[in-house]
């Protein structure tokens, strides 16, 4: 049995992270899995080199969505290698598969994904998702929303995203200081961190900046990690007059930056399971987050973090300030609860569910 996992475009994010962890987990358990990638996705190729085979099909051009050659290459990859199952990891990856699918003489089982709470329109539902044998949903909230909207209820499968607990674990005080020195992060400041590619309309970066502006002081710093945070986010912070801000940009080692920080702030407006938040919880950070998507399934207010409404800048600012003033006993209790919660979302648990799905499909 052969599995192909399709990723479109370049750049790291939650979708790429989960596709990577799933492939590695299945490979370790003896499954024959490969990737179909963009020609220009060099960073991902280096990450899987000598571990997981890959094929190139997509060219990074302005007109790549109508580039017939990309569809032809994907068709050749699937047909020549006789894949049994295809994971279309994003809506755009499913677009590619939808065009190729009718021309395949051997129809592989197709697995689509719904990673956010957006409900597809009628055209997308019946012309795209209709080819999916199974639709993986990454949070209970999204799952229930899709059921309520009668979105292929018999094809839905809840498989919550997993985190690599071997990477994201609590740091000792000495490790924290060492990492701050490594990344030139001030030793004497309370570091608020957000890890997400800069996308203000979805990830709420502007809300975080506004909330931080209300509490900024000489002993605090706001750190953004992710694509364009060193460019667009830095420009926005300067416009707001924020002085203690660092836009780090993309990092291949977000776990180190999390371990070097004190409080994780998440302002997302649309979310699936929010892997970055779970990673921060597994590191043992105090977390302040909106209740977008599936977050409220595991982040419990005043128990393992602080949960606020979407776009509630006042509450975000209040709990950011509160995170700085927690006594050691309260802080340790919240951090311990956060770590224990994150353990429930291990990669191993996720891979168990994928293996069960694969058996059903075949």
In this predicted model, which residue has the larger pLDDT, 362 or 32?
32
Q: What is the predicted pLDDT for the residue at 175?
A: 96
Surface-to-core class of residue 320, CB atoms within 10 Å of its CB (0-12 exposed, 13-18 middle, 19+ buried): buried
Is residue 34 predicted with pLDDT exceeding 80?
yes
Cβ-based neighbour number of residue 309 at 10 Å: 11
Question: Which two tokens mark 293?
Answer: 């998507």
Q: Residues 333-355: what's their mean pLDDT?
A: 95
Is residue 63 predicted with pLDDT exceeding 80?
no
d(CA 82, CA 84): 6
What are the residue ranges spanned by the domains of the chain? 2-162+346-361, 173-343
Question: Which two tokens mark 304?
Answer: 């393992």
Output the pTM of the full model: 0.81
The pLDDT tens digits of the residues spanning 99-138 come to: 999 999 999 999 999 987 677 788 888 889 999 999 999 8
Question: Is the alpha carbon torsion for 98, 273, 310, 208 positive or negative?
Answer: negative
Is residue 240 predicted with pLDDT exceeding 90?
yes
Q: Which residues pair with 3 in a beta bridge?
A: 33, 85
Is residue 333 predicted with pLDDT exceeding 80?
yes
Is residue 153 predicted with pLDDT exceeding 80?
yes
Work out the mean pLDDT of the chain and round it to a whole number.
94
- Half-sphere exposure (Cβ direction) of 81: Cα atoms closer than 13 Å: 22
Q: What is the predicted pLDDT for the residue at 248?
A: 96
Q: What is the predicted pLDDT for the residue at 272?
A: 78
Output the CATH code of domain 2-162+346-361.
3.40.50.2000
Contact assessment for residue 273 and residue 208, using Cβ atoms and an 8 Å cutoff: no
Report domain 173-343's class: alpha beta
Q: Residues 41-64: what's their mean pLDDT?
A: 88
Within this chain, domains 2-162+346-361 and 173-343 share the same CATH topology: yes
């Amino acid at each position: 049995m052969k599995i192909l996992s399709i990723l479109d475009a370049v750049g790291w994010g939650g979708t790429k992270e989960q596709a990577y962890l799933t492939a590695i987990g299945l490979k370790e358990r003896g499954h024959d899995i490969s990737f179909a990638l963009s020609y220009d996705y060099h960073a991902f190729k280096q990450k899987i080199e000598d571990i997981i085979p890959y094929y190139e099909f997509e060219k990074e051009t302005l007109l790549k969505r109508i580039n017939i050659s990309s569809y032809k290459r994907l068709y050749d990859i699937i047909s020549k290698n006789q894949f049994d199952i295809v994971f279309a990891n994003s809506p755009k990856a499913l677009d590619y598969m939808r065009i190729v699918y009718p021309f395949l003489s051997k129809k592989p089982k197709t697995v689509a994904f719904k990673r956010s709470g957006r409900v597809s329109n009628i055209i997308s539902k019946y012309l795209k998702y209709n080819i999916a044998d199974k639709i993986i949903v990454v949070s209970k909230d999204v799952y229930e929303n899709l059921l309520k909207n009668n979105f292929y209820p018999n094809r839905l499968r809840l498989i919550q995203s997993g985190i690599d607990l071997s990477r994201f674990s609590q740091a000792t005080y000495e490790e924290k200081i060492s990492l701050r020195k490594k990344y030139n992060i001030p030793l004497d400041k309370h570091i608020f961190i957000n890890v997400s590619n800069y996308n203000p309309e979805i990830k709420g970066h502007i809300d975080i900046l506004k909330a931080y502006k209300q509490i900024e002081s000489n002993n605090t710093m706001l750190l953004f990690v992710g694509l364009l945070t060193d460019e667009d986010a830095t420009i926005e912070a300067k416009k707001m007059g924020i002085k203690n801000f660092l836009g780090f940009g993309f990092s291949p080692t977000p776990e180190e930056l999390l371990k070097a920080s004190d409080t994780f702030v998440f302002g997302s407006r649309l979310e699936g399971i929010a892997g970055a938040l779970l990673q921060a919880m597994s590191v043992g950070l105090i977390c302040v987050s909106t209740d977008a998507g599936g977050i409220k399934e595991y982040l419990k207010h005043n128990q393992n973090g602080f949960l606020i409404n979407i776009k509630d800048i006042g509450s975000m600012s209040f709990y950011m300030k509160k995170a700085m003033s927690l006594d050691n006993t309260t802080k340790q209790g919240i951090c311990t609860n956060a770590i224990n919660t994150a353990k429930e979302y291990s990669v191993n648990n996720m891979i168990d569910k994928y293996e069960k799905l694969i058996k059903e499909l075949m």
